Structures are given as C-alpha cells and as structure tokens.
Structure 1
Amino acid sequence: MAAFVLLHTIPVLYEKYEDKVDPLAEKAMHEIKKQYAVFDAKVLSKIPRGPLKDKKKD
C-alpha cells in the first residue's frame, strides 16, 4: 500500500518542485562522487585482483 502511494505521489511532487530538487540532487551526486573517490583510494584500490580467467566458448 505504501509503495503504491509513493509511486503515485513522488512524480507529482517532483514536477511541482523540480526547480528546487534538481540543484539539490546535483549537489548530492557531486558529494557522492567525492566520497566514492575517497573510498576507492582508501579501500577498493588496495584489494588484490587476480588474473582473469578466460571463459570457454562452446
């Protein structure tokens, strides 16, 4: 029930407040990209990667 209400409410609210939501979403995406870069540098880049195996083609 809640999902039904959200699926029908969110698009209407977005259309009504699009000019306010878009700049906030852009700032959020910029911040997420910065945080991912830090996470990548500190964690993901240190995970050893083994050689890739060739998949057999039939």
Structure 2
Amino acid sequence: MLSVAAMMTGALVGATAVLNGRPRLPLLLALALLAIVTMAAIVLARADAPWARAIVRK
C-alpha cells in the first residue's frame, strides 16, 4: 500500500511540475533522488559496516 501511495505522489508531483513549471524539473528531481539512493546503497553495502560483521560470542 505504501508503494502505491509513493507512486501516486510521484506521479502527481511530476505532472504538476511539468504542467505548471519547467519541463526539465521532474527529470532533475528524479536524477537527484537516484543519486541519493545510489549513494545510500553504496554506503550501506560496504563489507566493513557494523551490521554486516559476524557476532562473536566469548
């Protein structure tokens, strides 16, 4: 349900930006969002992340 709401919100924001603003604005927003998600994925996928280490019990 959350994914459907996110898609609808994105469609409404994109359509509003195209109709009332500059046509390149939705592409710029999508590029910025893609860059943020890519950087987050790179940071979280590091092998030395604390949550990726094995638990050693003594």
TM-score range, shorter chain: 0.3 to 0.5
Higher-Rg member (1/2) = 1
**What TM-score, normalized by structure 1, do the two folds share?**
0.46
TM-score w.r.t. structure 2 length? 0.46
